[in-house]
Amino acid sequence: MDVIPAIDLLEGQCVRLYQGDYAQSQVFDDNPVAVAQQWAEQGATWLHLVDLDGAKAGHPVNQQAIAAIVRSVEIPVQVGGGLRDRSAVADLLALGVRRVILGTVAVEQPELVEHLCQEFPGQIVVGIDARNGKVATRGWLETSDVEAVTLAQQMAAAGVAAIIYTDIHRDGTLQGPNKGALRALASAVAVPVIASGGISSTSDLLSLLSLEPLGVTGAIVGRALYTGAVSLKEAIRAVGQGRWQDVPPDFGSSTLT
């Protein structure tokens, strides 16, 4: 299972939001390139970038910072936020981004996602951000009537390379991942699922190993890395040494929901 550091970009700075609330943002570093290099040096195999300004505006905003990060590290980078048409996707891939993450268009234009999967095979990921089981869109500012599991099945059929599942109520809270929701979603699809939201400790990461047989292949970690609650080096080592067979289903009981 990959431990994937998150870099959320707001006005060119590295920040974290609380439950997706732009009014509750905390700046952790004003040099996201240095942050990216730090995570790469500590052993990250992927970086997860979110253009928060882009998600809100409906089009990419932080391309300059994204391009600088891609140039500064040798590991692959995936990027989401404000990608609502083909040109935005193509432009990011042209910068050297390995995978792009679509969110709002998966709900509003599912046919576009299918076309992009055909044009850019292996490079299209869908982020399913859920609030009480319903998919949120437009930078989490709106909540649709679409069920997260239903959308996951539709996007898997469209040919996405992976699905990133975020429980918005857990995001930035350090309350642990929503394992129940992850289990339900991963059980419903045959594509890799990446967990996001609420991870507070290495124990939380180890608890996710019990979902590895269902296809949970990675976990995105944000605030816990920036506060020091999780050491990336230690987390990668612990997860690498762990095996899902050795992890009881109720390991990390605080994360069970």
Report, as residue numbers or ranges, the catalytic residues: 8, 129
Strands 124-131 and 99-102: parallel
β-bridge pairing 134-137 and 142-147:
antiparallel
For 188-249, give the secondary structure using H, E and C.
HCCCCEEEECCCCCHHHHHHHHHHHHHCEEEEEECHHHHHCCCCHHHHHHHHHHCCHHHCCC
Residues 161 and 122: beta-carbon distance below 8 Å: yes
Amino acid at 25: S
Longest dimension (CA), the chain: 46
Q: What share of residues in the chain are helix, strand, coil (percent, to 5)?
A: 40, 30, 30
**Burial annotation 87-112 (CB, 10 A radius, 16+ → b, else e):** ebbeebbebebbbbbbbbbbbeebeb
How many alpha carbons lie under 13 Å from residue 90 in its C-beta half-sphere?
A: 7
- Helix axes of 148-158 and 110-119: crossing angle, nearest 10 degrees: 30
